């Protein structure tokens, strides 16, 4: 099912509200927000389900007993998970960067640590390099800003990544 820009923007507002609510109720915990990178108007499909499952498995494997609470939401606008951890924020961000950089589908994970003001902690705050593009060695933000790759090229790349991952598992 295709989503509209209004639905996408509303989901971002709702995600922000959820983050603020969780942080206000659990100020001593580290909040991680996980979403799936899925360009285009269709955010839920077989590929996004595989990516979400793989990401959650990686998070549970890495953080295990440090997970205080986990909320998963499979919405039309995409998969979202909120994890409250008993791990320091920078340590959590460094671990999330490792997952994003090393997991076969990690480039399709958007894993953020949200600080007390509601802003994600940056990769540079965790002494990590910027994320690479799905398709080339440029920084992802450069390719996104310049529309270096078409949406269909990105979707085909994601399809290939997921199919390769499924064959390996």
48-65 pLDDT, tens digit each = 999 999 999 999 999 999
| Sheet with 109-114, side-by-side order of all strands | 67-75, 78-85, 30-36, 109-114
How would residue 80 be classed by pLDDT, with cut points 50, 70 and 90?
very high
**5-127 CATH pick, 3.40.50.720, 3.30.70.1150, 3.40.50.300, 3.30.365.10:** 3.30.70.1150
Q: How buried is residue 154: exposed, middle or buried, by Cβ count under 10 Å (0-12/13-18/19+)?
A: buried
Q: What is the pLDDT of residue 118?
A: 86
pLDDT in tens, 112-162: 999 888 889 999 999 999 999 989 989 999 998 999 999 999 999 999 999
Mean pLDDT of the chain: 94
Q: What is the mean pLDDT of residues 14-29?
A: 94
Helix, strand and coil percent figures for the chain, each rounded to 5: 50, 20, 30
Q: Tokens 């003001």 identify what position? A: 117
Q: Strands of the chain (E only): list them.
A: 30-36, 67-75, 78-85, 109-114
Domain boundaries, the chain: 5-127
Which residues, in sequence order, are bridge partners of residue 139?
132
């Amino acid at each position: 099912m295709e989503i509209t820009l209004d639905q996408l923007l509303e989901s971002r507002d709702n995600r922000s509200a959820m983050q603020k609510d969780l942080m206000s109720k659990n100020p001593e915990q580290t909040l991680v927000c996980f979403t799936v990178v899925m360009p285009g108007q269709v955010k839920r499909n077989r590929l996004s389900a595989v990516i979400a499952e793989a990401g959650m498995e990686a998070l549970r494997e890495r953080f295990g007993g440090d997970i205080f609470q986990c909320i998963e939401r499979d919405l039309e606008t995409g998969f979202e998970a909120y994890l409250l951890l008993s791990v320091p924020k920078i340590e959590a961000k460094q671990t999330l960067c490792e997952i994003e950089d090393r997991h076969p589908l990690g480039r399709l994970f958007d894993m953020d640590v949200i600080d007390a003001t509601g802003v994600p902690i940056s990769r540079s705050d965790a002494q990590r390099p910027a994320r690479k593009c799905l398709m080339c060695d440029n920084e992802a933000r450069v390719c996104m800003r310049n529309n270096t790759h078409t949406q269909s090229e990105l979707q085909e790349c994601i399809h290939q990544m997921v199919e390769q991952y499924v064959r390996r598992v």
